[in-house]
Structure 1
Amino acid sequence: MERSTSLTEKFVSTLENRILTGQWPIGSMVPSLRNLTQEFGVSRSVVNVGISELESLGYLALSARKNAVVADWKKEGTLAILNGLLANDLMDERTLASMFDCRYLIMTDSAFLAAINRTEESMALLRSMVENEDYTGGAEKLAEYDMRLHRAVASASGNAVYPLILKSFEPSIAHLIEKFYRDPAVIVFIKEKHSELIGAIERGDSEAAKTAMKELLQHGRSSRDWIRSVDKNGD
């Protein structure tokens, strides 16, 4: 069973790479079931499962003749494709910038809604996170904390989808947020704004909460040119 799973994952990963790198252009026909089983030396079931998975992710589509073709994954794909781009070292500046823009929209709305829809449980979690966080723990720990806090605010908003979207972004942006926290001057500002944000949410002041979140995220944009400074090693 483990061998079959491993073969399927390898098959999916290889086809994903061919699609993302343009070896298989959008609209091109995927090789036949017979050709794929021969090329990869796997069973028909492995190929069928792999093709189904790639279809569910938005990489492939079935034509009228039931043949698999490469879909317009940039328009029809799912958020999981972001992780595929990252795994294949194909995350470009435009995509990263777009992710941060999307994160900005989600988080400002989350802060606004959290002040309206907060519960005792969500507030207890947010207060605990802000009061107990060790800001001397290093950039990596602070980046992890930052992402957890943002997800907690998104959860407090009452929007069930926001935390899921943020979580899907994390593998791609974690090292950029870590770079942000390497600047000691940033930490003082962030600590103050986190307290201000949670205080506004607790008071039910939705506009103040939204403003605090905007200032947090805009400070990140202006403090460092994350997108241009990132290299392939994530250093």
Structure 2
Amino acid sequence: MGLQRRETLTAQLTRTLQERIAAGDYPVGSKLPSEQDLIDEFGVSRTVVREAISSLRAGGVVATQQGVGAFVLNPGNTPFTIQAAELEVVYEVIAVLELRIGVETECAALAAQRRRDDHIVSLRGALDRMITAIGGGEDTVEPDLDFHRGIAEATGNRHFLNLFEYLGTLLIPRARLRAAYRPAEMDSYLNRINAQHEDIFQAIVRQDSDAARAAMRLHLTSSRERLRASIDGKHGG
């Protein structure tokens, strides 16, 4: 069963899975099909599948266990949600980036104060994986997420990590808005992102909270301004 209209593949897959859950095809407590099974059935990329699962997780529909899979939750209201459909609009992605600026700048500062040696090893590994992915023309969303997740872990505050896991790939704007970046610019953009990551990392290594906070703010505000510029370009501003 293939999906149509490439620009909305994530939204379509999310909706299809939601409909199957509502119909009882995937009962409460059951495990969703594996990533590979969904890729084979719907003819989409692994990134699309991961984005759809993250959207379901953000909506409180499923919970994920690393290395195990996604499991259907009991229906009910969640205190805070960001709807996947809203994130098809660039303005909403900017709003999410503003949320990140408010949370992750302090997250980086706390990580600099509290990081352990094993956190440094984990962050360095995520940076190296992103460099490899850029060089090989591979998807960089996962190592990017791993880097930011590692910072949340290094705070020692489980609430930062829980919020990060709740939002999932909604945190990475290019995972939602690839159209905002021309293919010819992508490598340059990704290398710039990783250079900003390196600055954050080095501040955390030095345990320099102020520098870590400033580097994270620069990193996230740069992404926000790039998206704002994409709006101006589309509207002739």
How far 1:220 moved relative to its partner?
Answer: 0.8
Aligned mates of 1:228, 1:166 — CA distance in 2? 27
Q: What does 1:36-55 correspond to in 2, within 5 Å?
A: 53-54=74-75
- Matched length: 160
* Equivalent pair of 2:153/2:161 in contact (CA under 8 Å): yes
Which letter does structure 2 place at the counterpart of 1:218?
T
Residues 1:115 and 2:112 are matched in the alignment: yes
- Secondary structure of the equivalent of 1:141? coil
Partner of residue 151, structure 1: 149
> Which of 1 and 2 has higher RCO (CA within 8 Å, sep 6+)?
2
Partner of residue 209, structure 1: 212
Residues 1:162 and 2:163 are matched in the alignment: no
TM-score (norm: length of structure 1): 0.56
Aligned mates of 2:95, 2:24 — CA distance in 1? 26
Which letter does structure 2 place at the counterpart of 1:209?
A
1:165 and 1:172, CA in 2 relative to 1: closer, same or farther beyond 3 A?
same
Which letter does structure 2 place at the counterpart of 1:164?
N
Aligned mates of 1:12, 1:130 — CA distance in 2? 41
TM-score (norm: length of structure 2): 0.56
Aligned mates of 1:93, 1:186 — CA distance in 2? 18
Which letter does structure 1 place at the counterpart of 2:147?
L
Q: How big is the alpha-carbon RMSD for the aligned residues of Structure 1 and Structure 2?
A: 3.3
1:12 and 1:215, CA in 2 relative to 1: closer, same or farther beyond 3 A?
farther
* Equivalent pair of 1:115/1:206 in contact (CA under 8 Å): yes
How far 1:155 moved relative to its partner?
Answer: 1.0
- Which 5+ residue runs of structure 2 have no aligned equivalent? 1-17, 26-72, 233-237
How far 1:167 moved relative to its partner?
Answer: 2.5
- Secondary structure of the equivalent of 2:140? helix
Aligned mates of 1:225, 1:193 — CA distance in 2? 19
Partner of residue 192, structure 1: 195
Of 94, 97, 104, which residue of structure 1 is paired with 2:94?
97
1:141 and 1:12, CA in 2 relative to 1: closer, same or farther beyond 3 A?
same
Larger radius of gyration: 1
How far 1:112 moved relative to its partner?
Answer: 0.4
- Identity of paired residues, percent? 21
How far 1:203 moved relative to its partner?
Answer: 0.7
